[in-house]
Structure 1
Amino acid sequence: MSTIKLRQPQSCEADRTSPIGNNVSKPEAEDAVRTLISWLGDDPSREGLLETRGRVTKAFAEWFSGYRQDPAEVLAKTFQEVENYREPVMLRGIRFESCCEHQQFLQLAMA
């Protein structure tokens, strides 16, 4: 059985704009995280949380980086060399990420 290992998608650069191109800036997103930390009863200016806003926005940018990909372009990838293959091709080690839009719950797995 043949195996193909796919490369991992590149994560979003931590810039000042939204990873999906809307008009929410990175500082605005970090302020929202600060608000959530306060809402949860913690002090966002506490030493252990000083860099949390940046880490959370970076994580969300990576988790939702697929919004910047064109599915037609991804699915258009084909292979011309198909002779002498008598078995199915198996893809392994594919990192699978999904987020429940209702609760924003991230699910990570390997397929």
Structure 2
Amino acid sequence: MGALHAFRMQLKLGAVAEYKARHDAIWPELAELLTASGVSDYSIFLDEETLSLFAVLRRAENHTLDDLPSHPVMRKWWTYMAPLMEVEPGDQPREWPLQLMFHQA
């Protein structure tokens, strides 16, 4: 089991249904890239009142998530998702780290 990693992202008004539809049809090459990078047990939750997304995933000890921003598949996905959410220059989703306050395994 890897370490938990959690962060928040922000959807734009009116983007909930499309965001969900795109993730329901996640590209197989993106899913494979995430797994190969050491990601497992990845979930994204929505706060419907604020449109905040809360993501939680497990990172393997030897994860390579820091390499993802330069990977073509990841960049293509970010460009595809950029109209739906707040992004940084280069279309990377804005992320706010979340501090673990409690966990029971």
- TM-score normalised over the length of structure 1: 0.24
Kindly indicate which of the two structures has a greater share of residues assigned to strand: 2
The structure that has the greater radius of gyration is 1
